[in-house]
């Protein structure tokens, strides 16, 4: 397929070395939303959504469980959940323009929220959370993993990806282990797989059970 020069320009102009603030990121995703899915497939070759849902699916027994997709973007994780028969999932994202595209992708409800702050969700609300593509350059750091556990019921699951480029440099390796030693969660699986195949970037995939 022909590559869109527009798409390539947007991704390659992202300053991946700098920390972006939430407003800057919202501007990036506002511009990116309409061509995000194209870039996901044809420019980046991103496979984190199907890979995450495959891992998640190994540990879930009831497909009607209440799930939240944090940083749902245009809903590519929702599409994968729907394919596998999941029926009860919501999405939340900082970008209204990304959420607008997710509307017909199977989510029961979609809301605006910022993982760098407290999410507008009560504690212990969901059986499981997915968070794919959010722990990456300039987006959200490891200190916010605990916020994901806050909204999950005891014995529920948290499944997330971390871009390999920021895994050690942002301290995800230490925080993931520390949350286990502090008895916040038990890690069920932590593995490294393909993430953005056309950029030759790998990602860490983690699923943990909240205590």
- Residue 102 CB, shortest distance to ligand SAM, in Å, is 9
89-93: strand order across its sheet: 110-112, 89-93, 67-70, 126-135, 152-163, 201-210, 185-196
- By C-alpha distance, which of 196, 116, 204, 117 is closest to 159? 204
Any contact of residue 91 with ligand SAM (CB under 6 A)?
no
Nearer to ligand SAM, 68 or 177 (CB): 68
Any contact of residue 115 with ligand SAM (CB under 6 A)?
yes
- By C-alpha distance, which of 89, 94, 99 is closest to 129? 89
The window from 60-68, 92-100, 173-181, 196-204 that contacts ligand SAM (CB under 6 A) reads 92-100
Any contact of residue 49 with ligand SAM (CB under 6 A)?
yes
Q: Tell me which of 47, 53, 67, 94 binds ligand SAM, using CB under 6 A.
A: 94
- The site for ligand SAM, by CB under 6 A, has a size of 22
Q: Tell me which of 4, 114, 124, 125 binds ligand SAM, using CB under 6 A.
A: 114
Nearer to ligand SAM, 106 or 133 (CB): 133
Q: Give the pairing of strands 201-210 and 152-163.
A: antiparallel
- Residue 103 CB, shortest distance to ligand SAM, in Å, is 14
Any contact of residue 51 with ligand SAM (CB under 6 A)?
no
Q: Tell me which of 98, 128, 148, 206 binds ligand SAM, using CB under 6 A.
A: 98
Nearer to ligand SAM, 72 or 121 (CB): 72
Residues contributing to the site for ligand SAM (CB under 6 A):
22, 25, 29, 48-49, 71-73, 76-77, 93-95, 98, 114-116, 132-134, 139-140
């Amino acid at each position: 397929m022909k590559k869109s020069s527009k798409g390539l320009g947007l991704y390659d102009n992202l300053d991946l070395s700098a920390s972006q603030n939430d407003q800057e990121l919202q501007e990036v995703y506002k511009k990116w939303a309409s061509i995000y899915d194209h870039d996901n497939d044809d420019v980046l070759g991103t496979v984190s959504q199907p890979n995450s849902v495959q891992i998640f699916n190994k540990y879930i027994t009831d497909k009607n469980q209440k799930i939240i997709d944090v940083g749902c973007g245009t809903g590519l994780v929702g599409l994968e959940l729907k394919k596998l028969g999941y029926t009860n999932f919501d999405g939340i994202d900082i970008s209204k323009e990304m959420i607008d595209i997710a509307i017909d992708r199977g989510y029961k409800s979609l809301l605006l929220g910022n993982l760098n702050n407290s999410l507008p969700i009560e504690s212990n609300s969901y059986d499981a959370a997915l968070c794919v593509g959010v722990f990456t350059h300039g987006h959200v750091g490891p200190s916010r993993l605990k916020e994901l556990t806050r909204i999950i019921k005891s014995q529920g699951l948290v499944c997330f990806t971390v871009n390999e480029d920021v895994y050690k440099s942002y301290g995800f390796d230490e925080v993931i282990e520390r949350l286990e030693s502090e008895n916040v969660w038990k890690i069920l699986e932590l593995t490294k797989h393909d993430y953005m195949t056309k950029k030759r970037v790998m990602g860490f995939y983690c699923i943990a059970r909240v205590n």
